[in-house]
Amino acid sequence: MTDAELLDVAAEAAERSYSPYSHFRVGAAVVTDAGEVVTGANIENAAFGASICAEANAITNAIGGGARAIAVVAVVCLDGELCTPCGNCRQIMREFQVERIVLSSPDGSPVAVTVEDLLPMSFGPEALRE
């Protein structure tokens, strides 16, 4: 699947966003280490701390389904802005060895980055396994 196609899948997921407070609709599509595509959308809550980001939703769906690593995460915001993952999602991506993150630029073209680009000098699970 190309980056552009993966962003299209993420955009479809964003259509299912539950965002009655912010109206900021975000979708994510992840490719697992086995090549499976799993999606998620942001789900808000009146108690804001109970909200979940699209990226975390997609990754936890994939991990709960049996994946142990995520190869690619694609993120789309339907408002047309470049939308980068929050710090919590960056750490979740680090935990599950995400190799590449594909973001949708304002014109819709893919922008690929790495976890290291977004979370330099990070702390990961290998530190606990040594």
Question: In this structure, what CATH number is given to the domain that contains residue 123?
Answer: 3.40.140.10
43, with CB counted inside 10 A (0-12, 13-18, 19+), is middle
Q: Please report the pLDDT score of residue 80 as a whole number.
A: 77
Residue ranges, the chain, pLDDT below 70: 129-130
Domain extent for 24: 3-129
Helix (H) or strand (E) holding 63: helix 54-64
Full-model pTM? 0.93
How far is the C-alpha of 103 from the C-alpha of 93, rounded, in Å? 14
**Is there a catalytic annotation at residue 5?**
no
Domain count, the chain: 1
Catalytic residue among 55, 99, 116, 130: 55
Three-state DSSP class for residue 23: coil
Q: Please report the pLDDT score of residue 59 as a whole number.
A: 98
Q: Please report the pLDDT score of residue 5 as a whole number.
A: 97
How far is the C-alpha of 75 from the C-alpha of 104, rounded, in Å? 7
How far is the C-alpha of 76 from the C-alpha of 55, rounded, in Å? 10
